[in-house]
Structure 1
Amino acid sequence: MSDAAAPSLGPSGKSQPAGPVTFVGAGQMGAPMVERLLGAGVDVTLHARRPEVRETFAGLGARTTASLADAVKGASVVISCLFNESQVEDALLGPDGLISLLEPNAVLISHTTVGIRLLARLHEAATAHRVLLVDAPVSGAPDDILAGRLTILAGGDPAVIEQIRPALKTYGTVLPTGAMGTATRVKLVNNLLFTVNVQTAAAAAHLGRQLGIETNALFDALAHCSAATYAIETMRAVGSVEKYAELGAKYLRKDVTAALTTAAEEGADPGVLAHTAHHGPLPLTS
């Protein structure tokens, strides 16, 4: 077992196990999470619709099933890592949704970044079914997950967060943010600010070229200066501003839409953040 998967000590000082867990959503972000869980020796049941996904993870030691009801039967901890709000609504809500299938006192960890109103509906449904929801959006990329350095924001009951910390820390660092909904609010602000950082990095690259500085040379230098940002670091890693925009635009558009929608619903003014996200050099908003 890796150090990252070592059992945590609970409030009583006793060791807490990292599993078993049921996992739903083994996509671009979810798949490396499952890999880390399995690599840490955690007992994982994986729900996956695609046969090739089930085959891959069965080969790594997971119990796999195409049936959501079968996957969550008797589960005490379920991790959901779906792509967007539509998938969350389809999979978690409704008469045959994940929440309705869970037994009382089961813990549901939702890693998907959603708007505040959908999160409130999830919390309401979970409460009605006596399911313990943890609002747990994440910050990072698949490579961060595989390296065990994902940032996992966690809003909800502190005792429940401590209960599931051993499983989550197999692939990242858990940062409690407070009550239900606080993690999503932090993540939405982070997403909008990161998009602004991407736009300003792209603008800086354009200015550098006008001044005769090649973009890679500029970013290599800025990475060691006071203007260094994670956006610049990421663009350096993928090779260019244009390549990063190609790879990340659909995710940033989704994130910005969720952040600005929530700000409007809450009567908050995103001000210069919204302006820069919309009017920067890259097409990162819908």
Structure 2
Amino acid sequence: MLSKEDTVIGFIGTGVMGKSMAGHLLDAGYQLTVYTRTKDKASDLLDKGAVWSESPRDVAQKADVVFTIVGYPSDVKEVYLGENGLIANAKPGSYLIDMTTSTPSLAKEIYEKAKEKEVHAIDAPVSGGDIGAREARLAIMAGGDDEAFLQVEPLLNILGTNIVHQGEAGAGQHTKMCNQIAIASNMIGVCEAIIYAEKSGLDPETVLKSISTGAAGSWSLSNLAPRMIDGNFEPGFYIKHFIKDMKIALDEAKRMDMQVPGLSLALSLYEQIAEKGEENSGTQALYKYWKQS
């Protein structure tokens, strides 16, 4: 068991979601050391007692368990496989948990490289956005060895309410692709439903009272449609990161010789709205595609 008294947790990436997630671990009583490219983003955590690390290498040398949630697979590769990265500098027997949505192939590579160093690597991407991170209600989908998962599961339970071990290394990332494929087409439907309500003269907020609890119900309809109606396009999850995820899923589908017309359409629409300057907006800004067209 990883006791609070003896376990130092490292956290790399304190953005929209990571900041809340790291805060929950700190609030649970664990010693926490953090690193992020922009130190100001970690200021609240440092004020609460977290210790600053100067690099991923510094985190790896201090921590028994390291969580990462960064932007892109290229960032994951740098943080884990670089000369000054986690695997080259991690303590034998330590645990590395990547919660970034990345590629299954990279997750497997990290697992194999970590195993050579007697380090445990788990891919554990999450779903739930800023709300899920803030309220510790994330869905966490994990890939990796059974024993390693069981050791870190109590920590994952601090961050989420639906933690499932999906299988071997890479299985967490494959599961996240299923999640993103389901969201992609659903977001088109949510946007079209709200636009339809507005154009037909209905009050969209009243419409939501009827349709969000029926067969049309979804997380996006309940949590993101109200933001669309309010004109709130602040990111709970960035469009640029969702585009990255959809491209990973599309590549994986092609590798399996699978047609994904819904995903392809959603990617096309999101790329168009990103080209109009919305790449740093939340995914609910897809609503603007119909408003601007």
Q: TM-score normalised by the shorter chain: which range applies?
A: 0.7 to 0.9
Cα deviation for residue 284 of structure 1 reads 6.4
Contact 2:14/2:42, CA 8 A, preserved across alignment = no
- Counterparts of 2:171 and 2:248 in 1: how far apart (Å)? 15
SS of the equivalent of 1:114 reads coil
1:52 paired to 2:40:
yes
Q: In structure 2, how many angstroms separate the alpha carbons of the residues matched to 1:83 and 1:282?
A: 17
Deviations 1:197-226 (A, max 9, x none): 001111222333343323333223211221
Contact 1:138–1:152 (CA<8 Å) still a contact in 2? yes
Partner residue, 2:201 = 212
Map of 1:6 onto structure 2: none
**2:189 paired residue among 188, 195, 200:** 200
Residue 172 of structure 1 and its aligned partner are, at CA, apart by 0.8
Task: Tell me if the contact between 1:77 and 1:106 (Cα under 8 Å) persists in the aligned partners.
Answer: yes
Residue 78 of structure 1 aligns to a residue whose secondary structure is: strand
**Aligned equivalent of 2:239:** 249
Aligned partner letter, 2:206: A
What is the aligned partner in structure 2 of residue 269 from structure 1? 258
Report the CA distance between 1:227 and its aligned residue.
Answer: 0.8
Deviations 1:172-202 (CA, angstroms, capped at 9, x unpaired): 1321112211111110111121011001111
The residue type equivalent to 1:189 in the other structure is C
Tell me if the contact between 2:246 and 2:267 (Cα under 8 Å) persists in the aligned partners. no
Question: Which one of 90, 109, 112 corresponds to residue 124 of structure 1?
Answer: 112
Residues 233-280 of structure 1, C-alpha deviations (whole Å, 9 max, x = no match): 12234243964597742232122111111212x324143332442466
Structure-2 residue corresponding to 1:180: 169
SS of 1:186's partner is helix
Q: Which residue of 1 aligns with 2:150?
A: 162
Paired position in structure 1 for 2:19: 31
Residue in structure 2 matched with residue 17 of structure 1 by the alignment: 3
8 Å CA contact retained: 1:153, 1:177: yes
User: Percent same amino acid at aligned positions?
Assistant: 25
Contact 1:222-1:228 within 8 A present in 2 as well: yes
Counterpart code for 1:125:
K
Shift of 1:229: 1.1
Match of 1:139 among 92, 104, 127: 127
Give 3-state SS (helix, strand or coil) of 2:213's partner.
coil
Q: Which residue of 1 aligns with 2:70?
A: 82
Between the aligned partners of 2:122 and 2:82, the Cα distance in structure 1 is 19
Which stretch of the first structure deviates more once superposed, 54-63 or 32-41?
54-63
TM-score, structure 2 length as denominator?
Answer: 0.83
Q: What root-mean-square deviation, in Å, do the aligned CA atoms of Structure 1 and Structure 2 show?
A: 2.5
Deviations 1:34-59 (A, max 9, x none): 11111111111112343434543221
Change (3 A) 1:35 1:209: same
Mind listing any 5+ residue stretches in structure 2 that lack a counterpart?
276-293
Tell me what 1:61 maps to. Answer: 49
Partner of 1:101: 89
Q: CA, structure 1 residues 25+263, in 2 after alignment: closer, same or farther (shift >3 Å)?
A: same
Closer/same/farther in 2, CA of residues 284 and 193 from structure 1, 3 Å limit: farther
Change (3 A) 1:145 1:163: same
SS at match of 2:158: coil
Q: Which amino acid aligns with 1:260?
A: L
Point out the structure with the larger helix share: 2
**Distance in 2 between the 1:16 and 1:92 partners?**
22
